[in-house]
Structure 1
Amino acid sequence: MTTEDLSSLRADVVSALSLPPMDFLGELSASSLRAMFNRIAPAELRIGGSAVLRVRLGSRQPLSREISQVTDAFSAAVASIGHEIRRQATGQSESVRPINASDYRKTPVFVQASGGNLIVMRPDPPELLEPLAQNTPSTSERAISRLANLLPESRDLDEHLVVRNAVGAARADRYALDRIAKVARITGGVAVEWETSSERAEGFVSVGQANELVKVLSEVELTKEVIEVHGHLDGARVKRRAFWLERQNADDIDGVVDEDVMPAVLANLDSDVTARILRTISKTKSGKASRPSHRLIGLTRVTNLP
């Protein structure tokens, strides 16, 4: 399809999107139409306002109060992660304060429509139907993307692995996971689909995963220490912020990566490195300790391993 054809098609799509939707299905159809066009269009022709978060609850029809609890939980989770993103950007130490009205205001997410067991949410107020001026996501978009990628990739993902990843996450991320897990328990699970003009991510929380997350995030004592290890940076996953470090004569290490460290990870893939890692061990009130979880907080390349 030529650029002229795409421009003509864009005009038709914008015309269709300019009509006010009559109901929830109209909202959903408009969202799908915009997303489909943006998948085939070059960056300069994509239609703004395409970022959408779809939250599907358990198979039964949720109650009105449950829908309210879900939207409150997602707003709080996004606000918490948004605060962490801004903290990392300014180099401040990890915050221990609870989120407040300012966090909600700086990282807004709005319910666009809901029907059945589906809730459609958007970051920031809906944008005008103009070509995207730049491909820089807002803090709300970055926070929702991070949340979607924090959630388990599958309902069948081993619960012990889900818990280990959660314990090793930043404080703001753990709070976000706890809020989502608590509503997943009462709604029969949660499935999240995040889609923008350039990204698509999915996350899930089953009832079993939610029960384990709530238990470990609310009833544990965390022991943390920063360790320095040497090894070969074998791989990473950008969206999931995961890393794998091979070590000679020792167990390999894997875990999550601080967002501001990811550029260094990408620049040093398949290289020998010295890594600063925050190792966390959780202990329940009954005294049961978990396997260590690891969070990469610093990285430098080395010429020869010690």
Structure 2
Amino acid sequence: MNPFSEARRRHENTGGFGAALVHASLEAAERKFFPRPESRLIVDIDGAPVTPYDSARITMAVIDATAMFGRSLMDPQSPVTNVHPAHRSKVGLISAGSFGNSLHFTFPDCDTESDPVLFVDHVQTLAEAAAWSLVESLPRAVDDDDALDAVLSLPVTQRRGIEHLVNAVESTTRSLGVSVAMADGAGVSSTLSKLQADVLKDSLMESRSHARIITEHGILDGMRTRRRIFYLEREDMPVLHGSIADELIADLPKYLSKKVVATLEETTIQRASGVIGRPTYRLIRIKLEYPENELFSHIDI
């Protein structure tokens, strides 16, 4: 039994400076005597025992990729193409060493000392959010081709983040399994195989040729829409799929299996050879085609 947690719950509805100090003291005592499980980012590397070079190369790629996703979350309207020390410092992903062929990373604690009133059981840090977003953007399995397409429609900062991992797989010829295990028990896992890295390597080197905003009507497939990939079923037309803007992910479940109006960013890419590739799509806005309070307003009675 954790007496400090019980005491914090008894004081959670009290206010004032004195209550904040009590809460802060109980929080500090709980952390000391009842340490909580740590959230972790874990990278499993296939093949023979990992060499120091491979370990260092992949570790740096993971830190840089997470830093780029963190930068994208902080300022999605200002894309960057190169990782800087300030990006790594701001996200603060911590290399916790290797265990066999697994690399472990931990996350910095929340800065709760500056405002003890804000103490809660757990506040997601920028590093945790960035790592989760990174892992969700990678393929779920070796045959997840739709996820490879979706990567190409990600914001440029996130694409460059994934490119760091792709380059690490290319240079070490190692496939990776990447997972995040949160302190609260939540988790997500993905893979980046050598073959997937080869495909993405060619695609990420392509230059963007044209982007436009389009509006499509259809049903958001509730069976296939997952993680960061949407599927829009259109009447008598091919299904569209692609990535989902970060700000839409939390609200997207309420649109599943319903008729929607989707605003998409359609991007056509051009390879260095001049060949035009197929368009990719990113869902940037969505609304119900018939809002519930207007569901029958268009029917004459």
- Residues 152 and 260 of structure 1, relative CA distance in 2, 3 Å threshold: same
Identity over the aligned pairs, expressed in percent? 21
- Supply the distance in 2 between the matched residues of 1:127 and 1:51 (Cα, whole angstroms): 16
Deviation at 1:133, TM superposition (A): 2.9
**Deviation string for 1:193-249 (max 9, x for gaps)?**
210123111111111111111121123334221111122223277862222222223
Deviation at 1:139, TM superposition (A): 1.0
1:196-215 equivalences under 5 Å are 196=182, 197-215=184-202
TM-score normalised to the size of structure 1?
Answer: 0.74
- Residues 236 and 86 of structure 1, relative CA distance in 2, 3 Å threshold: farther
**Deviation string for 1:23-64 (max 9, x for gaps)?**
xxxxxxxxxxxxxxxxxxxxxxx9535201111112112221
> Which of 49, 57, 63 is the matching residue for 1:69?
57
2:104 alignment partner AA: V
Aligned residues: 255
> Which of 36, 54, 57 is the matching residue for 1:48?
36
2:102 alignment partner AA: L
In structure 1, the residue matched to 2:68 is 80
Deviation at 1:135, TM superposition (A): 3.7
- Note if 1:268 corresponds to 2:255: yes
1:201-280 equivalences under 5 Å are 201-235=188-222, 240-280=227-267
Contact 1:109 1:123 in 2 (8 A): yes
- Residues 109 and 49 of structure 1, relative CA distance in 2, 3 Å threshold: farther
In structure 2, the residue matched to 1:137 is 124
> Which of 149, 152, 165 is the matching residue for 1:164?
149
2:164 alignment partner AA: R
- Supply the distance in 1 between the matched residues of 2:54 and 2:156 (Cα, whole angstroms): 26
- Residues 118 and 287 of structure 1, relative CA distance in 2, 3 Å threshold: same
- Supply the distance in 1 between the matched residues of 2:152 and 2:60 (Cα, whole angstroms): 23
2:165 alignment partner AA: I
In structure 2, the residue matched to 1:123 is 107
In structure 1, the residue matched to 2:176 is 190
Contact 1:163 1:216 in 2 (8 A): no
- Residues 155 and 272 of structure 1, relative CA distance in 2, 3 Å threshold: closer
- Supply the distance in 1 between the matched residues of 2:271 and 2:167 (Cα, whole angstroms): 18
Deviation at 1:141, TM superposition (A): 0.3
SS of aligned partner of 1:142:
helix
Task: Look at both structures and tell me which one has the larger radius of gyration over its CA atoms.
Answer: 2
- Note if 1:175 corresponds to 2:160: yes
Deviation at 1:137, TM superposition (A): 1.2
Contact 1:49 1:127 in 2 (8 A): no
- Residues 255 and 235 of structure 1, relative CA distance in 2, 3 Å threshold: farther
In structure 2, the residue matched to 1:38 is none
- Note if 1:154 corresponds to 2:141: yes
Contact 1:236 1:242 in 2 (8 A): no
Deviation at 1:298, TM superposition (A): 0.8
Contact 2:210 2:268 in 1 (8 A): yes
Contact 1:52 1:121 in 2 (8 A): yes
Deviation at 1:118, TM superposition (A): 1.5
Structure 1, unmatched stretches of 5+, are 11-45
Deviation at 1:147, TM superposition (A): 1.0
- Supply the distance in 2 between the matched residues of 1:85 and 1:245 (Cα, whole angstroms): 25
Deviation at 1:125, TM superposition (A): 5.3
The CA RMSD measured in Å over matched residues stands at: 2.8
- Residues 190 and 108 of structure 1, relative CA distance in 2, 3 Å threshold: same
- Residues 300 and 127 of structure 1, relative CA distance in 2, 3 Å threshold: closer
In structure 2, the residue matched to 1:25 is none
SS of aligned partner of 2:63:
helix
- Supply the distance in 1 between the matched residues of 2:270 and 2:104 (Cα, whole angstroms): 37
**Deviation string for 1:261-290 (max 9, x for gaps)?**
123422333332221101122221123333
> Which of 83, 99, 105 is the matching residue for 1:99?
83
Contact 1:61 1:117 in 2 (8 A): yes
